[in-house]
Amino acid sequence: MSSHAVIQLAVGSTTEHRPLIITLFAVFVAATLGITVWAGRQTKSASDFYAGGRQFTAFQNGLAVSGDYMSAASFLGIAGAIALFGYDGFLYSIGFLVAWLVALLLVAEPLRNAGRYTMGDVLAFRMRQRPVRTAAGASTIVVSIFYLLAQMAGAGVLVSLLLGITSDAGKILIVALVGVLMIVYVTVGGMKGTTWVQMVKAVLLIAGALLMTFLVLLKFHFNISDLLGTAAEKSGKGGKFLEPGLKYGATGTSKLDFISLGLALVLGTAGLPHILIRFYTVPTAKAARKSVNWAIGIIGAFYLMTIALGFGAAALIGPKEIKAKNPAGNAAAPQLAEYLGGGVGTTGGAVLLAVISAVAFATILAVVAGLTLASSSSFAHDIYANVIRKGKATEQEEMKAARWSTVFIGAAAILLGAFARDMNVAGLVALAFAVAASANLPTILYSLFWKRFTTQGALWSIYGGLISSVVLVLFSPVVSGKPTSMFKNADFYWFPMENPGLISIPLGFLLGWLGTLLSKEPADAEKFAELEVRSLTGTGAH
């Protein structure tokens, strides 16, 4: 979804306006680097680096959460999915938004009270530190790297197409440049710098989407019925375009795939590491809850606008032209921007295209920084400080480990992103959600709410969910056997669905329960009572 995202536009239409495009990109990068350096000067303690000193207000954090969550997948992928599949495309928006209710009702407040900096803090509170922190760190890093790949490849495709770079070496250089920027953001700015970048990006994305929505509605004199009618007519599918079943109703397997995808989207958000660590940046649990309310409002408004963007692209450009630029429809939003600005070859079209592309690039950078911070924090705090150093590392040593791990994770993302630059990365985004829902969410919920839960249950749940979801995707059509697969010419798939959530999520919950029942060690009732009081009231929270 997020990545071949983007602007496979005729190179000729951007050639004469390339200086403008490069200038806009440069201004954005310079501004965000300036914010990062400013924030870096105020980052002195581990609390500053991991949690921004817990100084952000509920509104600021809500804005940053929105910036962290609305990735290129949201902006480019959903608009394309709606433009090609109508009603079924909009189901992504619903899944992404409903997911926040799970995060709000079950996770945000207890997690903020129970932990310090990472998911591993919550799990280790009432269980054996070393094995549980190792598992939590491994899961966090795997989810983050899958999500990172999608964003890195998206950035490579976006920038290389806008700048007219066609050589493999040039594309790899762009992926490397994004990786270096990401390493600078996190190592210099920590959570403070990353949060401010995410806030700026959220404002830009909402403003860009609002402008395009206004222009689309203006074309149809603010008559939504006309917009939907024209979109249905131009789609070639008639009334079926506005009804369920165009993408997910053809066969029994596709219906199951839809349920699987929905499960992963709705349950995955509450287990995404880069979202979970955002709850630690506010001073109180009440502020964590309020920040989720703000995020639901901001993200909800954005996803409502994707309806106008998707149906607007279907009505004004048409599925044939959209597919001609990118078969998955990921270029729909930038194509629509160019059309609304005046069309291909016009200055207005080039300006709006450049602005929306810069916003898409901002989106990628902000999400990449959040993901890198989540995985480096988990490595430094969970694995280095508590497993390798057994809790004896100083704050300065821990921050140093976090910065070095950022460099290594960034290098891994650059290397893998270079290989993934020509892949269909929709599966990587879905996999990140599926792994988070299969490995992280069952363990967090059991740990917070089940008195008998043990270390063995946690390990079975994390590793079981992690391994099953990764294995099922490796042998699914996402990786091989279809023209849209990562390896188009290979065919070794046996799992028929593109999303493993329907199997791996219940398996994660089941293994957590089974591992606990078969465990010989008793649960620590006193520790659970303490965790329960802390998670529900905030007494003793950091």
pTM for the full model?
0.82
Which of the four pLDDT bands, split at 50, 70 and 90, describes residue 350? confident
CA atoms within 13 A on the CB side of 493: 23
Which of the four pLDDT bands, split at 50, 70 and 90, describes residue 465? very high
DSSP assigned state of 535: H
Query: What was the pLDDT predicted at 515?
Result: 95
Query: What was the pLDDT predicted at 373?
Result: 83
pLDDT in tens, 377-432: 888 888 888 888 887 878 788 788 888 888 888 888 888 777 766 555 555 677 78
Mean pLDDT across 341-348: 81
pLDDT in tens, 29-47: 788 888 888 877 877 777 7
Of 132-136, 152-156, 182-186, 296-300, the least confident: 152-156
Q: Is the pLDDT of residue 518 over 50?
A: yes
**CA 319 centroid distance within chain:** 26
487 DSSP β-pair partners: 480
Query: What was the pLDDT predicted at 389?
Result: 83
Of 130-134, 162-166, 284-288, 453-457, the least confident: 162-166
DSSP string, 186-219: HHHHHHHHHHHHHHHHHHHHHHHHHHHHHHHHHH
Residue 142: closest CA among 463, 505, 496: 463
Q: Is the pLDDT of residue 196 over 80?
A: yes
Of 114-128, 199-213, 440-454, the least confident: 114-128
Q: Residue 1 in 3-state DSSP?
A: coil
If you average pLDDT over each of 119-128, 300-309, 321-330, which comes out highest? 300-309
CA dihedral 468, 471, 476, 478 (to 10 degrees): 110
If you average pLDDT over each of 85-94, 130-139, 505-514, which comes out highest? 505-514
Query: What was the pLDDT predicted at 15?
Result: 60
- Tokens (6 digits) for 351: 């300006």
pLDDT in tens, 76-130: 778 888 888 888 888 778 887 888 888 878 887 787 777 667 778 888 888 888 8
Cβ pair 322, 83 in contact under 8 A:
yes
Residue 136 CA to residue 446 CA, distance in Å, equals 14
pLDDT over 70 percentage in the chain: 89
What's the mean per-residue pLDDT of the chain?
A: 82
pLDDT in tens, 85-97: 888 888 778 887 8
* Higher-pLDDT residue of 494, 148: 494
Residue 265 CA to residue 260 CA, distance in Å, equals 9
Query: What was the pLDDT predicted at 5?
Result: 40
If you average pLDDT over each of 350-359, 393-402, 439-448, which comes out highest? 439-448
Query: What was the pLDDT predicted at 258?
Result: 82
* Higher-pLDDT residue of 344, 422: 344
Q: Is the pLDDT of residue 503 over 70?
A: yes
Q: How far apart are the first and last CA of the chain?
A: 38
Which of the four pLDDT bands, split at 50, 70 and 90, describes residue 542? low
Cβ pair 227, 315 in contact under 8 A:
yes
Q: Is the pLDDT of residue 52 over 70?
A: no
The backbone region for 342, taken as left when phi is positive above 0, alpha when psi lies in -120 to 50, beta otherwise, is left
Which of the four pLDDT bands, split at 50, 70 and 90, describes residue 456? very high
Query: What was the pLDDT predicted at 161?
Result: 63
Mean pLDDT across 450-468: 93
Residue 474 to residues 156, 478, 530, Cα–Cα distance (Å): 24, 8, 41
Residue 60 CA to residue 424 CA, distance in Å, equals 34
Nearby residues of 143 by Cβ (< 8 Å), 6 or more positions away: 271, 272, 273, 432, 435, 436, 439, 440
List of E strands, 469-522: none
Q: Is the pLDDT of residue 7 over 50?
A: no
Q: Which amino acid is at 2?
A: S
Residue 160 CA to residue 425 CA, distance in Å, equals 17
* Higher-pLDDT residue of 433, 252: 433
> How many residues does the structure list for the chain?
542
Q: Residue 467 in 3-state DSSP?
A: helix
CA dihedral 75, 269, 118, 290 (to 10 degrees): 80
Residue 503 to residues 54, 91, 103, 251, Cα–Cα distance (Å): 38, 21, 22, 19
Residue 128 CA to residue 196 CA, distance in Å, equals 36
DSSP assigned state of 487: B
Q: Is the pLDDT of residue 213 over 90?
A: yes
Query: What was the pLDDT predicted at 9?
Result: 41
